[in-house]
A and B are shown apart, each in its own frame.
Chain A
Amino acid sequence: MRRALRWMVVGAVAACGVGCDDGGGGEAAEPDAQLGDAAPVTPDGSAADARPGDAPDAGDPGGACGATVGGGLAWTAPDGLAAPVEGGTPARDPACAADAWLTHLRGWIVDQDGRPIEGAKAQACVRRAPDEQLNCLSPADTGGDGVFTIAVPEGGGNRCMRRLAMRTLAPNCGSATLYCRLDVPAPDAADSVLRTPTPFTLVDTTPAVVLPPEGDPEVARTVVFADGLELDVTPGRFYAEGEGYVGLGAAAVAPDAQGLCFAGEVADFSALYAFYPEGDVEGTPFPVRLPNTAGLPAGAPVEFLTLGGLDCTLDAENRIEEGVWAVSGTGTVSADGTQVVSDAGGGVPCLTWLGYRPR
């Protein structure tokens, strides 16, 4: 069931355009729908779909991965978003006259069908003003309506801020961690509570369909994902907590899919992929080959873009900050036009979200 659901949601997301929410709420995919269902296997024929913490089915009231609550689709803001915050909102520090002043961050987390996820985590890192020192706030859990509230502590001067990045996830559940940069309010904004206008959508990934045994971790091997994405992974250079290499999964996501907090930044992407688990690639990026679903002409040059995450290094000197899309390499459409292939030295610098577009 888990496998069927995960294939189903990938298909649903891939097929979901901006028109999905014409009426302010999309239709949840039927639980029995199986789009492209197939058993992921390893080369030795064993099933590759075995992760701890399998998410509960839609409507399941609980589970290690939180519950997606059936019925109450929440592409639109739940009532809890507008509720007053507990304890009120302290007055602005007069010293913070030229920057944003925030005491709370509130938003809501949904699955790719728009259902709120209970028990998901939301976490923020802020660059405080005026020194732009980066500090990270402890995570907040979502409630039954998917809503979370992060209180920005009084100490540390972090309520006066310049930039803000969010990390939302359902730990160890197979969904791609989402990073978003949020626009901080204008310095003269009256409300010190930032309520996000759109949900944070966690996309479920599908385990790799070909996952060679880990073997010698310093040897590269090709991992194949459900839609034909091929990644040449050297496990010993993949730094990720939790399942790491053996838990690898991916999902193709339509760049114009509902609920992407970075929608405006990926609108011109030809394709978009989300990975699980998140992690950094030490040294040279992993070479990648992607299906040319956009029909770009043979030999066409593309550029790859990677979403910055918790730990995403472009090279020894440069990291991609959380929520920032950065050009991470170039590629070329293969001679037969079927694949987009990363150029030498390029590819995937970290496993978060990856896209490409013509250049």
Chain B
Amino acid sequence: MRRALPLLLVAAAGCLEAGHGGFLDAGAPLIDAGTADAAGPRAAYPTTGIGAGVGDVLADVEFLDADGAPFALRDVFFDEAERVMLVSTAAGWCAACIEEQPKLNALHAEYGDEGLFVLVAFFEDSSFAAADVRDADRWRDRHELAFTVVADTDGAFGAYYDTALAPMTMLVEVPTMRILSIQTGFDEAMVRAVIASRLGGDR
């Protein structure tokens, strides 16, 4: 079954219209999560192939979370239980982001125990000021989010998409930290298809 999963991902990618976001294309070598996990414990955060596009390795970035504690992407990488990371950018001025939060909570509840790590990077408040820890905390509380929220004060994730649009939804294969997809907006069906293709095999 697991060998068939990458094909599902390719099929999902084929459903996308051009310009609606990026996915690993059909020609890209897809990494099976099981294979990657089988390569051994995650000894060091990947340092080769780092970039901002689909198929590239996501650089390790550090933030402060909504409690003010340090949080780095390597924290997700080194947690062997995590297999796919969903990163969503959010801003207080973004009605679309507000609409999206319950859907993220639902995905976390549904797939969290199976290896989905959901991360919201809150980057601006409703007055367009750079977000701080307090803003991230308020966002988390306001939407009763059960997953990690960080203050992306410096707009680190802005390097990965057209910041003229929000939100951005990125899926990352945690064992390799390769970017599986980057979308503007939140195409729930597509996100679910990718997550299911990566995690659903154990069900």
Q: Which chain B residues (98-153) contact chain A, with CB distance < 8 Å? A: 98-99, 125-129, 135, 138, 142
B28-36, B78-86, B160-168: which one contacts chain A?
B160-168
Interface: A87 (CB within 8 A): no
A278 to B163, CA, bound (A): 24
Of A95, A136, A154, which is within 8 A of B93 by CB?
Answer: A136
Assembled-state Cα–Cα distance A154/B186 (Å):
17
A138 to B96, CA, bound (A): 12
- Which one, A125, A134, A156, contacts B162 given CB within 8 A? A156
| Nearest CB in chain B: distance from A351 CB, A | 13
* Further contacts, 4 of them, CB under 8 A, given A125-B95, A135-B166: A139-B93, A155-B165, A171-B129, A241-B92
Chain B residue contacts of A136, Cβ below 8 A: 91, 93-97, 165-167
A153 contact set on B, CB distance < 8 A: 162, 164-165, 184
Q: What are 9 inter-chain pairs, A to B, with CB distance below 8 A?
A: A136-B91, A136-B165, A153-B165, A155-B19, A155-B21, A158-B165, A310-B126, A311-B95, A321-B95
From B95, B99, B128, give the contact of A171 (CB < 8 A): B128
Q: Which of B19, B129, B135, B185 contacts A133 (CB 8 A)?
A: B185
For B97, list chain A residues within 8 Å (CB): 136
Bound: A109/B186 CA distance, A: 31
Known: A123-B93, A156-B165. A135 touches B185 (CB 8 A): yes
Main SS of chain B's interface residues?
loop
Q: Min CB distance, A136 to chain B, in Å? A: 4
A310/B98 contact (C-beta < 8 A), A136-B93, A155-B184, A239-B142 known: yes
B75 within 8 A of A: no
A residues apposed to B, CB below 8 Å:
95, 121, 123, 125, 128, 131, 133-139, 151, 153-158, 165, 167, 169, 171-172, 239, 241-242, 278, 310-311, 319, 321-322
Given contacts A167-B93, A171-B127, A241-B135, contact A133 B21 (CB under 8 A): no
A137 touches B164 (CB 8 A): yes
**Interface size for chain B: under 10, 10 to 19, 20 to 34, or 35 or more residues?**
20 to 34
Check B202 for interface membership: any CB of A closer than 8 A.
no
Q: How far is the CB of B123 from chain A (nearest CB, A)?
A: 11
Give chain A nearest CB distance to B15 CB in angstroms. Answer: 11
- How many interface contacts (CB-CB < 8 Å) are there between A and B? 95
Least CB distance from A104 to B in Å reads 12
The answer to whether A134 touches B128 (Cβ under 8 A) is no
Q: Which 7 residue pairs of A and B lie closest in terms of their CB atoms, listed nearest first?
A: A171-B127, A156-B184, A134-B96, A136-B94, A153-B164, A135-B185, A136-B96
Contacts of A241 in B (CB 8 A): 92, 125-127, 135, 138
User: What residues on B are CB-neighbors of A319 within 8 Å?
Assistant: 98-99
Q: Do B164 and A125 have beta carbons less than 8 Å apart?
A: no
Question: Are A138 and B163 also in contact (CB < 8 A) when A123-B93, A311-B98 are?
Answer: yes
A242 to B163, CA, bound (A): 23
Give the contacting residue for B19; candidates A123, A134, A156; CB below 8 A: A156
Interface residues in chain B, defined as those with a beta carbon under 8 Å from any beta carbon in chain A: 17, 19-21, 91-99, 125-129, 135, 138, 142, 162-167, 183-187
Which residues on the B side are within 8 Å of A169 (C-beta)? 127
Question: How far is B162's CA from A151's CA once the two chains are assembled, in angstroms?
Answer: 12
**Also in contact, A133 and B98, with CB within 8 A (given A123-B93, A242-B127):** no
Query: Within the complex, what minimum Cβ distance (angstroms) separates B139 from chain A?
Result: 10
Chain A residue nearest to B184 in the complex (CB) = A156
Give A56 to B97 CA distance when docked, in angstroms.
33
Of B138, B142, B164, B183, which is within 8 A of A138 by CB?
B164
Contacts of A310 in B (CB 8 A): 92-93, 95, 98, 126
A293–B17 alpha-carbon span in the complex (Å) = 54
Given contacts A138-B166, A310-B126, contact A157 B96 (CB under 8 A): no
- Please name all residues of chain B whose beta carbon is closer than 8 Å to the beta carbon of A139 when the two chains form the complex: 93, 128
> A134 with B127: in contact, given A157-B17, A167-B93, A241-B135 (CB under 8 Å)?
no
Residues of A within 8 A of B165 (CB): 135-138, 153, 155-156, 158
Rounded to whole angstroms, the CA-CA distance of A311 and B98 in the bound complex is 7
Instruction: Give the shortest distance, in Å, between A283 (CB) and chain B (any CB).
Output: 13
Q: Please give me the residue from chain A that is nearest to B16 by CB atom.
A: A157
Kindly name the residue among B20, B92, B126, B166 whose own CB sees the greatest number of chain A CB atoms within 10 A: B126
> Given the complex of chains A and B, what is the CA–CA distance between A75 and B28 in angstroms?
56
Q: Which residue of B lies closest to A150 (CB)?
A: B164
CB distance from B69 to the nearest CB of A (A): 22
Complex CA gap A95/B167 in Å reads: 24
Specify which chain A residues have a CB less than 8 angstroms from the CB of B186 in the assembled complex.
133
Q: In chain A, what residue has the closest Cβ to B98?
A: A311
User: Chain B residue with minimal CB distance to A165?
Assistant: B95
Question: Is B187 a contact of A151 with CB atoms below 8 Å?
Answer: no
CB neighbours of B126 from chain A (8 A): 241-242, 278, 310
Please tell me if the beta carbons of B96 and A135 are within 8 angstroms of each other in the complex: yes
B135 touches A156 (CB 8 A): no
Distance in angstroms from A143 CB to nearest chain B CB is: 17
Inter-chain CA distance A169–B19, complex, in Å, is 31
Which of A137, A172, A278 gathers most chain B CB within 10 Å? Answer: A137
Q: How far is the CB of A75 from chain B (nearest CB, A)?
A: 27
